[in-house]
Structure 1
């Protein structure tokens, strides 16, 4: 084979010291490292999430968010994902072509950590790795960035890896951009705290599969969380606190609300959504608050997808539970609800990226939470008067058609069979009735009960007297 020509400089991340057979993931791609794997080149502009695990399953996964290009534009208002991915795919990414990150394997914490450059020795070490970049590239030690990968092992021939379908690569990159376009440095710092800054002044926000919000943590009396720290001061952060937006679905009314106002706010959570938006808005611009919520939806889902983080799954469900139980806010925040539906459709599209299907969408009960939420939301949208919420109605129609074809979900309430004959294994047929459907319609055992509080003369009800005397 003729010798390779000198490489053109491209954004690259070097991973010196990474042990072979380590699980490596970047964005929507996962693979197992080989002895000749030393990093990833040709990184496109935008957000990336790189994580590792000592084994493919049943091990702590540690990862970090970093940005290639001008980080000030990350999560900017009005950013169009399709336009951005076209520009990035064609190479006009605006990123510094010489941008090279160095994350070194730390055996003490079994994770990749950036070279901080606190000493002259560390700065010289980073310079040596970068100076050796050309030799590593010529030896085939750099894996070219892919949104997806074929069954060819990493570290194999570059010619074989080039056989990946180009259209699939563009689709995978487009999906990743759509899954991260609302994430910003401010959002990551709010949730994960201040980033680590490497020798070149580039930030990295770390998170692990063990990171959790305080409300989701198991509180065991007598035990305190201990943060493992390596010799160079890098925290393993298995117990890192995730600072999510506060969502309390049991209290969705304003302070001091009583009577009808409290009842309506419990049934229509629009006030709680608006209050959350206003809390995280900047300079009174509620669109920035809406982008924060969308960004947290993106962050939590991707941390479930890549790290299988339980706390992120719970927050993802809480946010959806708040958003899809709003009524008055739908026409008032039409673009927000449209964006949520588009994002959720894209997220559901990528659920099967996890082996076996992360949410067991095709199971009998795996999707029950989402189906129930979306069925109620569809009924809410259908009840909007003509000409109101057109964009939401259109996007919900597209979403409904897609989940019907993909998962055979039925979001129309009338299409649910509530009573029918079920044939048992021995051939016997029994009549079955689904009582859970009564809850939303307030029928059956969920029907309102009228209580007589007196005979109109101010005398107490006998029933109430009897209960008081028990």
Structure 2
């Protein structure tokens, strides 16, 4: 007689149509008729999403947490906590999520605790969990797909879930990568960016995102067309382009100085955006103390908002190909990598930022068509130019015996982009001017325009303006 199955943290996906694109964290696969969900979910953050096709279709997904989510961010702010609606899964068994397919919105929706019908349906699915498990209808969680797993999946019979091989060493490495890509995300950060979560029958929160979600600054507004209404699940009432608005960090790269700044102070703040970075962190570092009620400032909280948003936006590009998240990811990169004084003043933050950027770049090929090609970035020219300037700033600080932590992480990044993209970040090795020979033998002198800003030439050259004209 076989021993009864002891379920682990599981997400059930009843009524999911076959051949639906399913993604969980860093892997994707196509569902089969006998696929009913994913088991053995490890603790921590997860992002599950679906699409009706592998490409050119609206993708919908949601963030959720396995484990005690009420402890995340607790030392910061009681308002950052998810309301204590989550039942004690330790006493009631493993965490079981049930997301049912909605043919109306072509997305997954959670069963509600305020619906008797949903509560009864949830009890029925849980009661049948062991039978589904034993029948092989649950996909074992994987953090990455190896070549052997792909071959095994392709050899699987139609209508049966593929039995994917388990490589312990590769699996642990993949899980470590995912944890490092999400370790700064918190309920507070998700709520700020996406809005309040919705809850299932057991009080588990989830934050909904779609590939069409956007920030207002990145949206194309057409006069006469109102934004589409969004339902309680964060899913549009009818499929379309407009979704709930992202609440990103307010970054204005054209105004990076304090109010009232004039002259040299304003010029320096435009070239070194450290003041703007520090001001942004300060605004999001304040919270109400849960016991005393006083307003407290914690610099680490401000740093966490920047790092957490960098993680979120990158992963939404990676999984959902979300255009607005790509734009915010680039704005964050430009703000931080042009903050010269922060290399020394915020050395810990800057070194963590560079390390995170390297981990993200190692996953860029996961984006369909390539991350840099998605926005017409000409092979990553935008980031390459930023890194060249940032490297020069770092090594100028190193000459003063400062910023050693940043230098260490930058060396790893520089080595990787050199081997992967053949990017040369050493500014001195770049020829700025020179002679080239044309096909007819004529020699002409060329000048690289992208050095104008550094050398204050061309359109960046200083101008002498008459003070009387300037006041007109």
SS in 2 for 1:275: helix
User: What do the CA deviations read for 1:395-448 (whole angstroms, capped 9, x no partner)?
Assistant: 111211121112111111122233456687x79786462422332332542463
**2:356 aligned to 338, 343, 346, which one?**
343
The corresponding residue for 1:251 is 255
CA separation of 1:257 and 1:349: change in aligned 2, threshold 3 A: same
2:264 equivalent to 1:265: no
User: What do the CA deviations read for 1:92-148 (whole angstroms, capped 9, x no partner)?
Assistant: xx9986111000001111100110121222111100001100111111100000011
The corresponding residue for 2:381 is 368
Q: Which sits farther off after the overlay, 434-443 or 379-388?
A: 434-443
2:428 equivalent to 1:414: yes
Question: What are the equivalent positions in structure 2 for 1:26-41 lying under 5 Å apart?
Answer: 26-41=24-39
Q: C-alpha separation between the residues in 2 aligned to 1:357 and 1:31? A: 19
The corresponding residue for 2:239 is none
The corresponding residue for 2:43 is 45
SS in 2 for 1:359: helix
**2:197 aligned to 195, 198, 203, which one?**
195
Question: What are the equivalent positions in structure 2 for 1:113-192 lying under 5 Å apart?
Answer: 113-149=109-145, 150-151=149-150, 152-153=152-153, 156=156, 161-192=163-194
SS in 2 for 1:30: strand
- Count of residues in correspondence between the two structures: 436
- 1:360 CA displacement: 4.2
Question: What are the equivalent positions in structure 2 for 1:28-107 lying under 5 Å apart?
Answer: 28-74=26-72, 98-107=94-103
SS in 2 for 1:153: helix
SS in 1 for 2:45: strand
Query: Could you list the runs of 5+ residues in structure 1 that have no partner in the other structure?
Result: 79-93, 455-459
Query: Could you list the runs of 5+ residues in structure 2 that have no partner in the other structure?
Result: 77-89, 237-241, 287-295
- 1:452 CA displacement: 7.9
Q: C-alpha separation between the residues in 1 aligned to 2:384 and 2:41? A: 37
Q: C-alpha separation between the residues in 2 aligned to 1:349 and 1:17? A: 35
- 1:194 CA displacement: 0.5
Q: C-alpha separation between the residues in 1 aligned to 2:224 and 2:463? A: 49
**2:309 aligned to 296, 316, 319, which one?**
296
**1:322 aligned to 335, 352, 367, which one?**
335
The corresponding residue for 2:408 is 394
CA contact (8 A) 1:76 1:182 kept: no
SS in 1 for 2:356: helix
User: What do the CA deviations read for 1:183-204 (whole angstroms, capped 9, x no partner)?
Assistant: 0000000111100111001000
**1:435 aligned to 422, 439, 448, which one?**
448
Q: C-alpha separation between the residues in 1 aligned to 2:19 and 2:97? A: 22
CA separation of 1:383 and 1:34: change in aligned 2, threshold 3 A: same
CA separation of 1:322 and 1:166: change in aligned 2, threshold 3 A: same
User: What do the CA deviations read for 1:161-214 (whole angstroms, capped 9, x no partner)?
Assistant: 453432221121111000000000000001111001110010000010111001
CA separation of 1:118 and 1:411: change in aligned 2, threshold 3 A: same
Q: C-alpha separation between the residues in 2 aligned to 1:292 and 1:452? A: 41
Q: C-alpha separation between the residues in 2 aligned to 1:449 and 1:442? A: 11
What is the alpha-carbon root mean square deviation over aligned residues? 2.9
The corresponding residue for 1:90 is none
Give the TM-score, by structure 2 length.
Answer: 0.86
Q: C-alpha separation between the residues in 2 aligned to 1:97 and 1:345? A: 39
Q: C-alpha separation between the residues in 1 aligned to 2:62 and 2:164? A: 27
CA separation of 1:272 and 1:235: change in aligned 2, threshold 3 A: closer
- 1:239 CA displacement: 1.3
Q: Which sits farther off after the overlay, 30-39 or 388-397?
A: 388-397
Q: Which sits farther off after the overlay, 401-410 or 428-437?
A: 428-437
The corresponding residue for 2:223 is 221
Q: Which sits farther off after the overlay, 442-451 or 184-193?
A: 442-451
CA separation of 1:278 and 1:96: change in aligned 2, threshold 3 A: farther
